[in-house]
Structure formats: structure tokens, C-alpha cells
Amino acid sequence: MAFQLPDLPYDYSALEPHIDTETMKIHHDKHHQGYLDKFNKALENHPELFEKSTEEILANLDQIPEDIRPKVRKAGGGYYHHSLFWEMMSPDGGGEAQGEIAEVINQKWGNFENFKQEFTKQAGTLFGSGWTWLVKTPDNNLEIVSTPNQDSPISQKQRPLLGIDVWEHAYYLKYQNRRPDYINAFWNVVNWEQVEKNYHLPN
Ligand code: MN3
């Protein structure tokens, strides 16, 4: 069975004023849908891959037939990342991390503010289109990494805990070229409960 577009877990307008309604509509209904369509199309001639999860596919790209691998990497990555991204934000989000994820962030960066600054810096300086992530490495370390285009941390055996989409389509309507303003706004909607859940997922 083909992969499906997940509904947003909240209304298009729920993240206002930080992320605007129009951006959410276009981002979910057009961009996410577009990645999904291309992903399903790429798998059409290899229907056995529909039995796998997106995560399994992206974690083992070397096992994907070469003729579709670049498409799967891009479209599958885009499909997977946006599915994660909606869940990583919430109208009840923002503030500082809580619970175990807060402890491991503090262990790694000293305090929450240092972590936030480092993540903000990486997202702000990523050249071109891509994502900045907080990931858990196979040896249970936390790292901040950036990936170009739709390349996935999961393809590097890194578990994505929190990610920000810094493709222009994620912020251009409201923030134009002011990526730093968008990144600052993003902190107000980060769903730390979800980040904690992601942290407890297997590597
Ligand atoms: Mn996007």
C-alpha cells in the first residue's frame, strides 16, 4: 500500500503568530504532498518496498535499487522529515526542555541556553536548503548536525529528536529572507514532550 500524507496534529492556524497559517497550508498540502507523491511514484516498480517503513528504507539506502536511490533519498527524506516536523511543533510548545532530555542536554552543553545558541547558530549558517537537527547517535550521545536538501540523519544511523526545516519555503511568506527571525520564532513552538519521546525511541 502506498504511503499516506499524515494530517497535521493541529489546525493550520494553531502555531500563529510564530508560524503563519498560509505557510502551514502550503507547506503541508503542497510541499509535503509533493514529496509523498514523488516517493510513491519512485517505489511503483518496486512494490515490495511498500512493505517497509520509511525509516527502514532511509536507514538502508544502500539496499535500495540504484535506479531509484537518488529519488528515494530526496522524496523519501522529504516525506519522512515533514512527518516528523509537524509532530516536533505544538501550540502548547516552547519554553525549555523538561525531564530526561533536559538532563542530557545540560550534560552535553552545560545549560539549555548554550544548546539553544548552538542549534540556532547552525540553523542560521546552513548554506542553501536543508535541516538542522538535534540527534541521538548510536552510542547515545547527543549532537547538533545539519543535513543538506532532504538527506536524513537516519541514513547516518542518527535518531532525529528535534529538527528545523530551513528551506525557504518554510518561512519565506512571513519572514522573507529573515531566516534568523523564523528560527527565533520556532523556539516558541518546539514540542519538548515529543522530543523526549523521540529520545526514548530505539537507535
Ligand atoms: Mn519543508
- Is residue 83 in some structural domain? yes
Q: What pLDDT was estimated at residue 45?
A: 92
Q: Which residues of 56-95 are buried (b: 16+ CB within 10 A; e: fewer)?
A: ebbbebeebeeebeeebbbbbbbbbbbbbbbbbbbbebbe
Q: How far, in Å, is the centroid of ligand 1 from the Cα of 32?
A: 7
Rounded CA separation 27/75 (Å): 14
Neighbours of ion ligand 1 (CB under 5 A): 165, 167, 170
Instruction: Give the confidence band of 34 by pLDDT, cuts at 50, 70, 90.
Output: very high
Rounded CA separation 87/97 (Å): 15
Residue 17: cis peptide before it, omega within 30 degrees of 0: yes
53 with 115, same domain: the answer is no
74 with 106, same domain: the answer is no
Instruction: Give the confidence band of 15 by pLDDT, cuts at 50, 70, 90.
Output: very high
Our measurement of the distance from residue 17's CA atom to the centroid of its chain's CA atoms, rounded to an integer in Å, reads 20
Q: How far, in Å, is the centroid of ligand 1 from the Cα of 88?
A: 13
- Is residue 162 in some structural domain? yes
- Is residue 16 in some structural domain? no
Domain count for the chain: 2
CA distances from residue 7 to 16, 47, 56, 76, 82 in whole angstroms, order as listed: 18, 24, 22, 17, 11
Gyration radius (Cα) of the chain, Å: 17
Contact criterion met (CB below 8 Å) for 17 and 48: no
Q: Which residues of 131-146 are buried (b: 16+ CB within 10 A; e: fewer)?
A: bbbbbbeeeeebebbb
| Among the listed residues 197, 117, 132, 202, the one whose alpha carbon sits nearest the alpha carbon of residue 167 | 132
Contact criterion met (CB below 8 Å) for 136 and 104: no
Q: How far, in Å, is the centroid of ligand 1 from the Cα of 110?
A: 31
66 with 150, same domain: the answer is no
Q: How far, in Å, is the centroid of ligand 1 from the Cα of 174?
A: 14
- Is residue 10 in some structural domain? no
- Is residue 36 in some structural domain? yes
Q: How far, in Å, is the centroid of ligand 1 from the Cα of 115?
A: 23
Strand partners for 143: 135
Domain range holding 177?
99-199
Strand partners for 165: 131
Strands, DSSP E only, in 153-196? 159-165
Q: How far, in Å, is the centroid of ligand 1 from the Cα of 24?
A: 10
Instruction: Give the confidence band of 37 by pLDDT, cuts at 50, 70, 90.
Output: very high
% of the chain surpassing 90 pLDDT: 99
Q: How far, in Å, is the centroid of ligand 1 from the Cα of 107?
A: 31
- What pTM did the predictor assign? 0.97
Q: How far, in Å, is the centroid of ligand 1 from the Cα of 153?
A: 16
Q: How far, in Å, is the centroid of ligand 1 from the Cα of 34?
A: 10
Our measurement of the distance from residue 172's CA atom to the centroid of its chain's CA atoms, rounded to an integer in Å, reads 18
- Is residue 94 in some structural domain? no
59 with 130, same domain: the answer is no
Strand partners for 144: 134
Q: How far, in Å, is the centroid of ligand 1 from the Cα of 101?
A: 25
Q: How far, in Å, is the centroid of ligand 1 from the Cα of 82?
A: 6
Note the pLDDT tens digit of each residue in 157-199. Answer: 999 999 999 999 999 999 999 999 999 999 999 999 999 999 9
CB atoms within 10 A of CB 114: 13
Q: How far, in Å, is the centroid of ligand 1 from the Cα of 78?
A: 7
